[in-house]
Structure 1
Amino acid sequence: MLSFMDSYTLWRHLPFPSSGSDKSLILAHSDLAGADEYATTVIRFVERGIFKPAPIDVLAMLQEIMHRIDLLGNAVSDGDQAVARSQHAYAALLHLVYQQFLDAGRQGE
């Protein structure tokens, strides 16, 4: 399993995935951007030691996004299949980072 700092570093250096051309992927991309914005609370924790979780359930939001992408299956074009995998992988990594952030912050409380 990746350590918190390893997963955080991967997330911070991973380019944000594209939106694709399928309407469902465009919506997932938009929601993923929102989750990514909420996850910036992790940056404050790493850089300044401030543990302040987002006001929403980021983990549930990411799980819902990954579920929606999974439901697309083979319904999208070949080009959008790669986009779907990229979005899903980004959401999965962000989920891991945010869970580790919550665990680390709660241990320090």
Structure 2
Amino acid sequence: MLSFIDSYMLWRALPFPVGGAGAELIDTHGDLAEADEYVTTVIRFVERGVFVEAPVDVLSLLKEIMSRLDGITERVSGDSQRVARSQHAYAALLHLVYRQFLEMNPGDSPARG
């Protein structure tokens, strides 16, 4: 299992996936970019210890994107399938990073009341 910092480091080192051809992959690419922006709140936590959640339900957003990409992957082949799988893998990593971040919420600590 990946630790929070391991998954964080993988995400930060991984290039953002390409958009691909076709309206569906262009749409998922844009939605993934929006989700990626929300997940950047994690950077402040790692670099400065500031825990601030994104203003939206990031995990639900990412699950919805991954579900759409699952459907696309089943319908396409070749380069489009590779792009869909790449976007899905990136979304899955974002989901892991953000879920682990939420689990580290210092406000949930019994010591903080």
- TM-score normalised per structure 2: 0.92
Unaligned runs of 5+ in 2: none
The alignment covers a number of residue pairs equal to 109
Equivalent runs, 1:10-21 vs 2, <5 Å: 10-21=10-21
Distance in 2, matches of 1:77 and 1:21, equals 12
Q: Answer 1 or 2: higher relative contact order, Cα 8 Å, separation at least 6.
A: 1
* Residues 1-109 of structure 1 aligned to structure 2 (within 5 Å): 1-106=1-106, 107=108
In structure 1, the residue corresponding to 2:60 is in which secondary structure?
A: helix
Secondary structure, aligned partner of 1:55: coil
> Take 1:72 and 1:10, find their aligned partners in 2: how far apart are those partners?
25
Instruction: Extract unaligned runs of 5+ from structure 1.
Output: none
Percent identical among aligned pairs is: 63
- What is the CA deviation profile of residues 86-107 of structure 1, one whole-angstrom value per residue up to 9, with x for unaligned ones? 0000000000000000001245
8 A contact 2:73–2:85 mirrored in 1: no
CA RMSD across the alignment: 1.2
Q: Which amino acid aligns with 1:65?
A: I
